[in-house]
Amino acid sequence: MRRKNQITVHCYNKNNRSELMFFYDLYLKTMKKVNANYCISLPLIEDLLNDERNAELYFAYYNGKIVSGSIILKSKNNIFYWINASDSVSLKFKPNHKVLSHIITKYSDIDYINLGGSHSDTLRQFKKTWVAKDFKYYVFEKAF
> pLDDT of the chain along its 144 residues, tens only?
554 458 999 999 988 999 999 999 999 999 998 888 789 999 999 999 998 899 999 999 998 899 999 999 999 889 999 999 999 888 889 898 899 999 999 998 988 888 777 666 776 677 667 666 777 767 677 777
Could you give all domains of the chain from N- to C-terminal order, each with its CATH number? 8-130 (3.40.630.30)
Residue 136, phi then psi, degrees to nearest 5: -65, 140
Instruction: Report the predicted TM-score, pTM, of the whole model to 2 decimal places.
Output: 0.84
Sheet with 2-4, edge to edge strand ranges: 2-4, 7-11, 55-62, 65-74, 78-86, 112-114
Contact in structure between 65 and 72 (CB atoms under 8 Å): no
